[in-house]
Structure 1
C-alpha cells in the first residue's frame, strides 16, 4: 500500500491473523472460500511489503519481480473470480444466486483479459510520492471505465447477496473504491487493495454472527 513497507507488513500480519481465525470460524464447507478472503488479502499485503523493500534497495531485482507479480495477480486476476465465487457458494436465494453467477462469468472473462495483458505487456512498479504506482504496458489505474468494470465482479456480488451483513461489507468497499478513485486515482491499485484488505477483517464478524444459525441447523441425533 501507500506510505511504507512497515505499513504493508503490519497490515499483513494483522489481517492474516484475522484470516486464520475466520477460517476456523467457518462452520460449513461452503463458507470456506468466503472465510479465506482476509487471509488472502494478508498474503497480498505481504507481497507489497516486499515490493517496497525491493524498490528501495538495489540488488533485489528477483524479489521485485516476484513481489510485483504476486501483488498484481491477486489484485487483477484472483479477486474478480474469487469474490463472486465465494458469495455464490453461500447464497441460497435463486434470483440473487443468478445475479452473482453473472458476475462470476464476467470475472472469469476479466481474468482471461487481464492475464493476457499481464503476459503480453511490460509490468512496472515504482515509488512515487509515498505510494507505489503500477502500470501494465500503456494501461494504468487512471481509467474510470476499467474501474467500473472491475467493480461488477469484485464488489457487487457482496451487494447482490441476501445476507444483510455481507451487503454492508459491499457498501463500505464500494465507498472506499470511490474514495480511492477520487483522491488516489494514479495509485488506485495499491490504495484500493489496502482499504479492501482492512475491510476484509469484517468477514470474521460476519462469520461469528452466523454461528448461532449454523448451530441451530445441525440435526440432533
Structure 2
C-alpha cells in the first residue's frame, strides 16, 4: 500500500478482520473462495507493510526479498487465478460460466508467464515519492496493454457474473484501475492493489445480505 508502513499494517488489520467476518458469513464451500478474498488482500498488505519497514530501516533490509516476493506473488500470481475461480464457483448461469471459465484459463496462462518472469528476472522494489515502485527485470507497470490483459482474469470475471452486486464490484475495480493508470502509472501495482483491497471489503456486505447473491 502507498504512504507508509503504519498505513499498510493498519489497513491489513482492518481488511483481514473484515475477511474473517466474510468467511464466517459464507454458507457453503462455493462461497468460501469469494469470502476469502478480503483476508488474502489483508495478508498481501501485511507483506507490503513489512516491505516498507525493510526499505526504510537498514536493520530490516534482509526482509526485503521475502516481502517483495510475498506482495508480488499475490499481485501477479494469485489474483489472476483466484478471482475467476472464486467467481466461477458461485455462478449458475451456463453462458456466464463459460466466459468466467475462459477468464480462468487466461489467468492460469498468466500465472505461468508472470511466474517465469519473477524467477528469470531481477525483482526489485524501492520507495519513490511515498509509493513503492516495483520492477521485474526490464518490465514495468507502465503499459496499458499489459494492464488490460491482466484485467481480463483479475477483474472482468466479476463483470461477467450474473449477480448484480458482484457486477458492481467488477465495475468499481475497472474504474479504479483507470484512476490508478491515469494518476499513478509508475506505481500501478501498489496503488491498484490498495484500491482492490479496499473494494474487497464489499464482499462482506454481499455475503452478509445473502439475497444479494441469489
Residue 23 of structure 1 corresponds to 23
Report the structure number with the largest CA radius of gyration: 1
Taking the aligned partners of 2:108 and 2:183, their CA distance within structure 1 comes to: 29
Long gaps (5+) in structure 1: 215-221
- What residue ranges of structure 2 are gaps of 5+ in the alignment? none
Cα distance in 1, alignment partners of residues 90 and 202 from structure 2: 17
TM-score (ref. length: structure 2): 0.98
Does the CA-based 8 Å contact 1:27-1:211 persist in structure 2? no
Change (3 A) 1:212 1:37: closer
Q: CA deviation at 1:212?
A: 8.9
3-state DSSP of counterpart to 1:27:
coil
Tell me, in whole angstroms, the C-alpha distance in 2 between the residues paired with 1:165 and 1:205. 10
Tell whether the 8 Å contact from 2:164 to 2:212 is kept in structure 1 after alignment: no
Residue deviations 1:99-133 (CA, integer Å, cap 9, x gap)? 00000000000000000000000000000000000
Q: What does the per-residue CA deviation read over 1:6-60, in whole Å, with 9 as the maximum and x for residues that have no partner?
A: 1111110000000000000000110010000000000000000000000001132
Give the match's secondary structure for 2:58. Answer: coil
Tell me the C-alpha RMSD between the 2 structures. 1.2
Partner of 1:55: 55
**Paired positions, count:** 214
Provide the rounded CA distance (Å) in 2 between the counterparts of 1:213 and 1:166.
8
Distance in 2, matches of 1:158 and 1:123, equals: 30
1:77 match: 77
What's 2:164 paired with?
A: 164
- The answer (yes or no) to whether the contact 1:22–1:35 under 8 Å persists in 2 is yes
Structure 2: distance between partners of 1:6 and 1:140: 26
Is it true that 1:40 corresponds to 2:40 in the alignment?
yes
Q: Aligned partners of 1:41 and 1:106: how far apart in 2?
A: 21
Q: Give the TM-score normalised by the residue count of structure 1.
A: 0.95
